[in-house]
Structure formats: structure tokens, C-alpha cells
Structure 1
Amino acid sequence: MSKIHNEVLIVGGGPTGLIMAHELLRRRVPVRVIEKRQGPSHTTRAMTIHARSMEMFEHIGLAHRLEEVCLECPGNIYHFPHLSEEEQPRTDYRVLPTRFPFYYKINQNDFEQVLREHLFAQYSLRPEYQTELTGLVDRGDVVEATIQLPNGSSEQIAYPWVVGCDGVRSFVRDAAGIAFVGEEVAVMSMMDVPLTNVTFDDTWMNYYFNKDLFMNCTKLPGKYWRIYMSEPTGEYVYAKNQRQAFQDVADKLGIGFTVGEPEWVTAWQIRNNIAERYRTGRMLICGDASHVHSPSGGQGMNGCMQDAFNLGWKLAAIWNGAAEESILDSYERERKPIGEQISEGAMATHEIVMGFGIEPQDRLHYTREPGWEAKTINLVSGLSHNYVAVTQSPDGITAVAGPNPGERAPDALLVREPQKRVYDVLRHPQFTLLVIPGKDEERHVALGRAIRDELDRRFPGQVAGCLISGRSDGGFDFDHLVPDETGEVRERYQVGDEGRILLIRPDLYLGAACLPEEGASISEYLEQWFTPRVDAAPIVCAPVLAA
């Protein structure tokens, strides 16, 4: 048997692997990140960060740095050649109900650098480059990995868990025997390049197309523009002189700019694939290793990072002895449908802009369908992704108004000065119990306090309680007590005189919602995630307090 390293092996040092490492390290789980690339990338592939990802980055303390290296993009313009500029369909993200009503444009190499700097500053961790996984065998209680080191030698080490964040050609996925089902849907090339004679509004993402050609263009941070180009034959995508090929396509589409000397060019096959499953024993896959799709809409990197945000706290709970391995079943159950939604949404946009062989005017009807823009921006931004269909609520609980369990937990301003929001209250690695009293405030606060204390006894260290109230005598200390000065939280969670108990998951989704009198159901809900203490039997809150 190989020597055992008591850490999680993360294969892949891109955005997915770095978020996976962060989510484990912030919960005191040791990790090792290996990456076969020669070093940090100096080129950019993915280039968009959407609202749900920015909410995640605000949660983990990175949003402020990203704002310094990104450009805001209000949305997409679809340039149908038979329409005037005023008639062109748009997907305008500025109406989204979030602190980030837009999406960010960023060079992926700059983005990865921000993630690496944060990991090293907070946890003294860096990816190990020129370090390649060459063998992987599940031995039951450990996974034995063969790893080639930068000097050419190999080592065999056993790890309790291995997470494959190693992309479309995932070694971990293949070693785990997981099928990657799908098909090629197009070929595409992209270029980062200086442009002159730009006449379109390059703050937007601009889609240009005709029956047989597609190109989209936008300005990146710095001196370059990003251009994507696709066509059905490969004549332009794989042309030897890529600068001239991009210029020819731009001219045929009437865009008008002049292509300079490219900084970087690449071409690839667009595939629409999803993994048959996300786990085999102690080997898990995450991000592009589990799903890949058309880049239309720019959802790929965002969905991948959200996979890691979902998996991280669950794997940490197992590592720290708070949960059984069965908690990992929820990872595939929750994230695979999201991967399918992302693929469906990407292909819907793909059919509009890359429906080759069909005249553009015959694709326009997609953008005229009722609710098309709202559905698109909510899906692509990630705000509408949810786990409602697979969320298990306790039996017999009274249905309450507001977001459904499994939906994104809305943010809301609580205090204007000094500013405090609901998402500030959630900024920690645990579940959050929000107690929002109604008309019978004193009793509801007492119920909330009893529920908090019960969760502390049964699930120690897993839940942080917070009272949203002006009461200073409610048994919640200064760090766990916030007044509601604006009423936004009551509006967005639809809380009336009846009051509310809310449980927010570590990944910013609503886990459970109930009336204060039914607070015992929160403990029942948590039993699906964590192993309760044997010596801490559940308490039925309301009758005890009424006695």
C-alpha cells in the first residue's frame, strides 16, 4: 500500500479547482492541488463572470478585487442583418434583482491570478505545476494516485478523496469509469486582438451573423478585444492565416473593424456533453469534467465554479465528521440538472446566432417568444438556478409565502448606515438560521432562541443563528443581531405578522422556511445533511416555551 496523505487531492488548478480548494480550506480541510500545465496561464479562454458567481465571490471576500480588474457589460445585442439598430433584440442584465445587475468581462488569466493570490494570502497554498496525475485506483477506503513530478520522477500516494477538476479530457473521470455522453455541435475559433475602426458599442457583447457565418465581439480589460468566430465548414475556423480569416468574416458580416496582429488565437470543437454520473466511490468530478456545452451566453466557467461551491461544504462535512458519505449523493442530484439547464440555455442562444443553414429572419422568432429576455437573463446569470425539485422539506410543515426551499436566497438591505445586508449576515462557512419575528415579537424571539439552542446541541458548529430585530434583550449577541430598518427582507421573503424562521445553506440557497411555531422542523430538515449528536434528543420548541 502507498503512503497515505491525509488531505483531499484536487486535480486541476483552473477556476473550478481553485474554488474547490478555497471551500475546503475555509472549513479546515487540508488539500493538495496539482496541475499538469507548465505554469500559470498567460492567455484567456473564459471571459465572463455572471451575477450568481459575483454573489459567491462577495460571500468569500473576493468581489472587491474582481471589480478592480473587470469591465461591466450590460448585456448582449443580437445584430439581425435585416433589422435596424433600434429593432435589434437585446438581453439587458441591468434589471436583475441583485447587487450585480450586469456581467463582468475579465481575462481568464487575470481572473485565475486573483484566485491564486487569494488562496496564497489566506491559506499559503499554491497549485503544484508540472505535476501530472498518471494513475488512479480506488482501493475502497482510499484512492491510490500515481503522480509524475516536475523532475520526471513519479510517486504513489493514497488520498481519502480525489476531486477531478481537470476539464473536458478529465483523467479522473476516465479512471472512475464515468461515461461522457454528447456530441459535437459546431467548430469555433477565438482571438484576443487589437482593433481599429470600431463603430459598435463595445461595452456590450455584440453578436453578428448571417445564414452561414457567426462572429461576436466585445472589449476586454486592457488593450484587446475578444472575437469569437464560427461557420459550418471549418474553412475560416481552421484557416492557416487566422488574422485574414477573421477579417474576411468581419467584412462579410459588415462589422467594419480592422483586425490587428492577434495576441492569441485558438480553435476547438464545440461539444454538448454531460457525465453519466458525478462520482465513483471516493473519486468525484467537478466543472468541465462533468459537463461542457456551447459557449453561447458565457455560462461555462460560472456553472463549473458553482459546482465546486456546492460540493465543497458537503465534502468538508464528511471530512470533519459531521456527516455521512451519503451527503454526496445530493451533489449529483442537485448539480446535474443545473448542468442540463446550462446546456439547454446555451443551445437556445446557439440556435439564434449559430443556426447555420437557416436565414437569420427565420431565427428571429426565438427572441419574440413571451418572456424570452427575462428567462434568458435569469438563467444565464445563474439567479434562476435552483434545487426546488430535489429539496426535501419535513412532512407536515405549513407552506409559507416567499421563496421556495431550494431557490436562491435573496439579498436585502437591513441597515443603511453603516450598511448591512442579509448577505453580510451569511458570510461564514455554516448554515444560517434567520429569525424574523412577526407581530408577537417577544414570543417569536423566544422561539427563535430555543431553535438556535437546539441546533447548537444537536449539530454543534454547523449553524449560526441571527435575529433580524431591534430587540437587544433577545438572547442574541451583537454579531448575531441586526435590526431591519428598511423592510426589504420582509418584502423579499414575504414575511408578514406571522413571522418566519429561515435556514440558509452555506451556498446561499434557501434550505427551509417555516412559521416560528414550527421551528422544530428545522432540526428535522438538518438531519438529511448532518449526523445529530447521539446524546442530544430533539426538542419540540413551542409547547416547552408555552409551559
Structure 2
Amino acid sequence: MAPIKNEVLIVGGGPSGLLLAHELMRRRVPVRIIEKRQGPSHTSRAMTIHARSMEMFEHMGMASRLEEICLECPGNLYHFPGMSDDKCPRTDYRVLPTRFPFYYKISQNDFELALREHLFACYSIGPEYRTELIALEQDKQCVTAKIRHPDGTIEESSYPYVVGCDGVHSFVRKAAGINFEGKTVAVMSMMDVELSDVKFDDRWMNYYFNKDLFMNCTKMPGKYWRIYMSEPTGEYVFAKDAQKAYQEVADKLGIGFKVGKPAWVTAWDVRNHIAERYRTDRMLICGDASHVHSPSGGQGMNGCMQDAFNLGWKLAAVFRGEADEAILNTYERERKPIGSQISKGAMATHEVVMGFGIEPADRLHLTQEPGWEHRTINLVSGLSHNYRDVTLLPEGLTPVTGGPKPGERAPDALLVKEPQRRLYDALRRPQFTLLVAPGTTAPDAVIDIGTQVRDQLNRLFPGQVSTYLISRAHEPRFDFDHQSTDEEDQFTERYGIPAEGRLVLVRPDLYVGMACVPSEWNTVGKYLTQWFLPRGEDAKNGILNN
């Protein structure tokens, strides 16, 4: 057996693989990314970055770059035949409770370039192209991979963990013996093209359809428009003259634009699949390797990247010997239900716009159900994704009311207006963050509790938790980097902080882990034992069991 390398092997250099590499490297876990493609892609299918992903990228320090190269999209317009634009159903993302109340439009190739540049700027690494995984076996100690290099030579190397971010036809998934159940639900093509005589509002994603045809289109950054097209026969989707086929479908739908010569066009089967599991011992799968969906709503790439964001901190802790490998099971336990939610949400939109054989008038009711728009934008944006049903809390914990529940997204809040400081600034460290909110009844006593729990956590879980005070005034018991005032009261309001105060523990992936009344501060350490191996004399003396 080859010596075990001190790094994680990531198979696949797309968005999921690049994001996972970033999350591991920022926790000082070496990685190697191999990619069998000839080089960086210059074409794309995905094109949307939703609000929850932007919150993730703000956490990673990438949001400002994406703001420079993306176009904002306020939402989707569903142009039912015969219905005026001001009456047609829409999903308007501008009401979302986030700093990013919209979604971004960008070609996947440009987006991947930004990811690669960020990864190289921070850590001097990138994918090894023309480098293909051709065999994979594992035992209790490692995974042994045979890798073909560009010159044809075969390398045999062993790794403690291998993660397959290698797409719908994942080699890693097959080697791990994981079934990928599902079916093909449509055929689709897409085109990047210059248009003329555009009459629709090109800021929005515009869906046009009739009984047997579907097309959506929007302006992209630069000179091109992005058009997706589908129909049940494949006659137009797989036509040799794509420009003619797209023009014909646009004319039949009454869209009115003129299609230029395409810069790029492709066609594919739309699949709806989800893996039976996400891990086989030391082999894991992530992104499209674990679930694929209809592109309706544009959730696919976002869900894949959020998978990597969930897995990264857990795999890092296991690799570094700070956690038992059993925590890797929580990756599937938390993310597979989200994959199912994304699939159901995508198919719900799919039925509205691509319910071929059913008259559009008979699909309209799907958009008229009470709360349809609210549910759709919160699901598609990722803001409503949560782990409530699988979150484990210490026994006997007093339930807290108000604010996000354990397992729900941790919302941002403006703390100080000038110079601006936001809650997400405090959460940007790649650790858990314990927020100490003193309240108004006995703030000094709660701050004392904050120092006590901070010191205990530093002893038990060194480097894993940052304790941060959010109070009414500067407090000398916390240093400058670990406190802020709540001048705007947004944090107090959004987290439902009561007069007696509260402790809120936020996970590294921006979800609330737990919250408790200050007097139950010892439960924070008990909660963290499900993630990390406690260290030091406190653990030996059983303080966590008191």
C-alpha cells in the first residue's frame, strides 16, 4: 500500500469541489483537487446565485467580488398565455429578509473563475486538469486511488478521505457502491446569444410557455442573453440548426425577439435523482454526485455548494483529530432532506412551466395557492432550509421563545452604523460563535457568565469556539475583537433577546446550534460534545456531566 498522504483528495473542480477545498484549507487541512476536464470550462449551464449562497460567500470573503461581476435579478415572471405582464404571477425576491434580496445572474464559467482566483489568492492551490481518477479502493485506514496524469502515467496514492464532487456520473459514487435512484423528467437545451427587438423587462427571468413549449430568457452580464428551451418531443431541443429552432419556438410563444447567431448552445436530459446515501466509510459524495434536479428555479448549483459548506467544517475537525468520524454521518442526515426539498421545489416550478400536455390555464391554480410566492422565494433562496428536525439538544434544556430556533438559519443584523459592523462580521471566523446577549435585567451578571463559559470552552474545545459579547456599552471583560454594541437593536429584535438575556451558539455554517437562558450556560459545553472531543482537566473531571 502506498504511504497515506496528509491531505484530502477532492475529485472534481467545479463549484462544489472548489468550495469544499476553500472550507478545508481555511481550517488548515491540505487538499488536492483533480479534474479530468481538459481545462477550465468556457461554457456553462448554471447561472444563478441565491441569497443563502451569497450569505455564505460573504462569510468566505468573496461577496464583494461577486457583486462586481454579477447582475441582480429581482425574480421570475411567469407569462401565462393571454395574461398581461402586470397580472402574470411572479416570484419577487426583493422582500426577502437578507442583505441580498434578489438573486444574482452569472454564467457558471465566470463564476467558477472567480472561485478559482479566490482559492489561489488565499491558498495558492487550484485543480489539476487532465488528471483522471481510474480506480478507487478503501480499507479501515485509507482510500487508495489510481490516478492517470496528462502524460498517461499512472499514480497510486492513498488518502485518509476522498470526496467525489464529480457530477451526475460520479466515479466516486459508483466506487462507493451508492445507488443513484431517479428518472429523466424532460429534455432541455440552452443558448447564450445576442438578441434584438427585446420587449420584455430583461432584469427579470422571464418564463414563456404554452401546452407543449417552454422558453425562459434573461440578460446576462456582458452582451449575451441566456435562453433555456424545452419541449416533449426533442424536435426543437436537438435540432441541427439551433438558431432556427429557437426563433421558431420564440415566435410560437409570441415573445417577439430576434435570435442572433448563438455564442454557445447545448442540450441534455433533465434528471431528477438523489443518492441513497452520501457516505461509505472514507468515501463521500457532494453536489451533483449526490442529487440532481430540474433547473426550474435555479437551485441546483446553490444546493451543491451548501452541501460543501456543511461538510467542510466537519471533515476538517475529523481530519485534524478534533472530532470523532461519526460526525460525518450528520452531513447526510442534515443535507439529504434539503436535497429532497430542493427536488420537490424544483419539480413544483417545473409543473407550472413545463407541465407539457396540460393547458397553461389548468396550471395557473398552482400559483394561486395561499402563500405560494412566500414559500417559493424562501425555499428557492435557501433561507428556509433548516436542520430543526435533526438537531440534538442537551436534555432538560429550558425552551427559549423568540428568534431563530436551533437548526434554523442565523440571520444577519446591523450592529453599528458607523463604522459599519454587522453580526456576520463577528461570525466570519471558521469556528462556532457563542453570542452573549446580557439583556437588561441583570446585564453585569450575564457578562460574568459569559466570561465563565468562554473560559470553560477555551479549555474544553481549544480553537473551536469564539465567544462574542453584544451589549449596550463597551465591556473591559471582553477584548475589542470579541464584542460590539447593538446600536440599531436589530440583533436584539431578530434574535428575540429577552430582558434576562440569552446565550446563542451559531455553527460555522451560519445555522443556530442551540440557545439557552444564561443560567444554563453549562449546557453549551454539553451540546458541543456531539461535535468535538473535549480536552483537558475539565473533561477528565466530568465537569460536563454536572
Q: TM over 0.5, yes or no?
A: yes
Q: What is the one-letter code of the residue matched to 1:408?
A: R
1:190-240: CA deviations, max 9, x gaps? Answer: 000110110000100000000000000000101100000000111111111
Equivalence for 2:416: 415
The answer on whether the counterparts of 1:3 and 1:156 sit within 8 Å (CA) in structure 2 is no
1:168-206: CA deviations, max 9, x gaps? Answer: 000000000000000110000000011011000010000
Equivalence for 1:230: 230
Deviation at 1:150, TM superposition (A): 0.7
Equivalence for 1:359: 359
Does 1:459 find its partner at 2:455? Answer: no
Deviation at 1:534, TM superposition (A): 4.9
The answer on whether the counterparts of 1:82 and 1:361 sit within 8 Å (CA) in structure 2 is no
Deviation at 1:469, TM superposition (A): 1.3
Equivalence for 1:107: 107
SS at match of 2:425: helix
Distance 2:313 2:385 in 1: 18
Equivalence for 1:498: 500
Runs of 4+ in 1 over 3 A off after TM superposition: 470-474, 537-541
The answer on whether the counterparts of 2:474 and 2:484 sit within 8 Å (CA) in structure 1 is no
Equivalence for 2:23: 23
Equivalence for 2:435: 434
Distance 1:53 1:85 in 2: 30
Matches within 5 A, 1:85-100: 85-100=85-100
The answer on whether the counterparts of 2:459 and 2:536 sit within 8 Å (CA) in structure 1 is no
Distance 1:333 1:389 in 2: 10
The answer on whether the counterparts of 1:456 and 1:463 sit within 8 Å (CA) in structure 2 is yes
1:308-328: CA deviations, max 9, x gaps? Answer: 000000000011111000000
Deviates more, 1:171-180 or 1:449-458: 449-458
Equivalence for 1:335: 335
Equivalence for 1:403: 404
Distance 1:132 1:403 in 2: 44
SS at match of 1:85: coil
Distance 1:139 1:488 in 2: 51
The answer on whether the counterparts of 2:193 and 2:226 sit within 8 Å (CA) in structure 1 is yes
Distance 2:173 2:436 in 1: 43
Distance 1:252 1:213 in 2: 9
Deviates more, 1:392-401 or 1:428-437: 392-401
Equivalence for 1:194: 194
Equivalence for 1:527: 529
1:358-382: CA deviations, max 9, x gaps? Answer: 0000000011000000000000000
Equivalence for 2:40: 40
Equivalence for 1:157: 157
Q: What is the one-letter code of the residue matched to 1:393?
A: L
Equivalence for 2:383: 383
TM-score, normalised on structure 2? 0.98
Change in 2 beyond 3 A, CA 1:509/1:463: same
The answer on whether the counterparts of 1:296 and 1:347 sit within 8 Å (CA) in structure 2 is yes
Which 5+ residue runs of structure 1 have no aligned equivalent?
none
SS at match of 2:274: strand
Equivalence for 1:297: 297
Which 5+ residue runs of structure 2 have no aligned equivalent?
none
* Paired residue total: 542
Deviation at 1:350, TM superposition (A): 0.2
Deviation at 1:535, TM superposition (A): 2.2
SS at match of 1:232: coil
Matches within 5 A, 1:104-183: 104-183=104-183
Deviation at 1:79, TM superposition (A): 0.2
Deviation at 1:529, TM superposition (A): 0.3
The answer on whether the counterparts of 1:446 and 1:474 sit within 8 Å (CA) in structure 2 is no
SS at match of 2:198: coil
Distance 1:521 1:489 in 2: 23
SS at match of 1:84: coil
Distance 2:4 2:327 in 1: 24
Deviation at 1:107, TM superposition (A): 1.2
Identical positions, percent: 70
1:90-129: CA deviations, max 9, x gaps? Answer: 0000000000000000011111111101111110001100
Distance 1:83 1:65 in 2: 39
SS at match of 1:344: helix
The answer on whether the counterparts of 2:57 and 2:63 sit within 8 Å (CA) in structure 1 is yes
Does 1:219 find its partner at 2:219? Answer: yes
Distance 1:379 1:409 in 2: 16
Distance 1:456 1:85 in 2: 58
